[in-house]
Amino acid sequence: MLSERERLARDEFNDTQNEMQAWLEEIEAERVDVHYDGVGLLGRIRFWLTEGGEKKLVDEPDQEVRNFVETLRKVQALPGRGAWFWSHLWMELPEGVLHQESDWMREPVFDPGQEPDPYHYKIELSRYPRDEGNIPGWLRERVARWEGERGPAFNRRIAELEEDFYVLTHGPRGSQAEREAARTGRLPRMRGGAEFDLARERVLAWLGDSGAERIDVYIKGLGSSQRIRYWLTADGKKEPARAGGGVAEAVEQLRHAQALPRHGAWLRSHLWMDTDMDADEGVLHQESDWMGEPDIGDGGPGVDRCAEELEMHPRETGLIPDWLRTRAEQ
């Protein structure tokens, strides 16, 4: 019997295969090759299409196909071995079978000027732990360099953020709110708690009405714009769906409602509810990213939208990602 991790990896690979086959058939291409280099939170993904016997680099591949490919490194990570750093995927028609070869030890290659910040090497081992014998020398060297040059400052910043979180959940130290939390064991509601509860109730109702076993919601936002995609998994098949039962209205409120003082609003978030995982308990899971550059489907974050983001959701200077600061200052 497959574990939850193995089942998820299998399903994501099959969904990628189905989307890629549909794309090739739609554009009447003969073959697609995908080369994926990744480390930490960064990925370099290149698509090549073969049409009429000629192989060409594709600047703008199908977005849904790219989204599926992007998830593979994470879901295919293995305990003690970590995530692969390089992978080659390919498919030919009319066969329609997705092939893959991956390498867990080679150093990933990025475009000149786009080399990863040293932090990404450190976070690689945090997100995808490896047994000592499975850590390549080049990764070990970069992590050691990061720990020597940036580790102390990073650890101080983590301590500051942990204190910020404590104040958000318990109230300022020595305050009445903190004493009440200590006495009762009940913490104050986090920002956006009511909006999250509404989204959970509506997603749960939609899941029951649809007869599906899982719902995934992917949100990307910047300024006043959001791009939200919904997927239903039924009988093991994951397909795009139109939100029902007032789900869209509830989900659209979350980004603004969950914005934090000094930190701003998250830029990407993934919500999911799974009847198999949670035994029909109706648990709505969420993981969010405050720093990654969101793709909202309009050619990349523009100057005006970046400025609007910082106006709507102010951040401390040290919590503004470089890409957002650079565009907003323009």
**Per-residue pLDDT for the chain (330 aa), expressed as one digit of tens each?**
788 889 989 999 999 999 999 999 999 999 999 999 999 988 999 999 999 899 999 988 998 999 999 999 999 999 999 999 999 999 999 999 999 999 999 999 998 888 888 889 999 999 999 999 999 999 999 999 888 887 787 778 778 777 776 776 666 777 776 677 667 666 555 566 788 889 999 999 999 899 899 999 999 999 999 999 999 998 888 899 999 779 999 999 999 998 888 889 999 999 999 887 775 678 899 998 888 888 877 666 778 889 999 999 999 888 888 889 888 887
Cα–chain center distance at 49: 26
Q: Which CATH fold would you assign to the domain 4-117?
A: 3.30.500
CATH number, domain 193-329: 3.30.500
Q: Could you give the residue range(s) of every CATH 3.30.500 domain in the chain? A: 4-117, 193-329
pLDDT at 86: 98
Q: Classify strands 86-92 and 268-274 as parallel, antiparallel or unpaired.
A: unpaired
Alpha-carbon distance of 313 to 258, in angstroms, equals 10
Residue position matching structure tokens 């409602």: 257
Residue 44 host element (H or E): strand 42-51
Q: Three-class SS of residue 234?
A: strand
| CA gyration radius, the chain | 22
SS3 content of the chain, % helix, strand, coil (to 5): 45, 25, 35
* DSSP single-letter state for residue 253: T
How long is the chain?
330
Beta-bridge mates of residue 86 = 37, 103
Residue 148: the pLDDT is: 86
Residue 286 to residue 81: CA distance in whole angstroms: 26
Please tell me the distance from the alpha carbon of residue 141 to that of residue 212, in angstroms, as a whole number: 47
Amino acid in the structure at residue 231: W
The distance in angstroms from the start CA to the end CA of the chain is 55
Residue linked to tokens 């060297």 = 141
Q: Give residue 156's pLDDT.
A: 81
pLDDT given for residue 127 in this prediction: 92
CA–CA dist 81, 326 (Å, integer): 37
pLDDT at 279: 57
Strand partners, 92: 31
The token pair at 168 is: 């958000």
DSSP E strands, 149-305: 214-222, 225-234, 237-241, 268-274, 285-289
